[in-house]
Amino acid sequence: MNVGLSVSRVGSVAQIKAMKKVAGKLRLELAQFRELAAFVQFASDLDKSTQAQIERGMRLTEILKQEQYCPMPVERQVAILYAAVNGFLDDIALDRIKDFEIGLLEYLDNQSQTALQSIKETKDITEQTEQELKNLIGEYKKIF
């Protein structure tokens, strides 16, 4: 699937509010990444900001990869996308992104069902849920 070119008649109407919150930023960042990636082919020196955008785009692309026949509940999708678009994966090596994703989701399951349960039930990310996600993701990063 090409996130930048994929178009649906239903569009974001079918998404829950929590997904809309993370997907909007995701689409913007991926569009910028693709534009920069095309431009960078012709450039030799990159400033730190451009390099950071490219690195984040690569991580976002990696996080969107999903094993065949392994559906993921939407609350888990929201949690990992939240981590990705908010820069929590920026310092994780690209080849360790999948390990981080698996470990984070296990950590969320084991440490606190409330964040994922809240997203599942309310279909939104409340301020309280967002704060809990930030704390849990930060805690997991320390032990990863």
> Any idea which residues carry the catalytic annotation?
9
Could you give the CA distance from residue 56 to residue 51 in angstroms, rounded to a whole number?
Answer: 9
Helix (H, G, I), strand (E, B) or coil at 89: coil
- Supply the DSSP symbol for 67: -
Residue for token digits 């349960």?
117
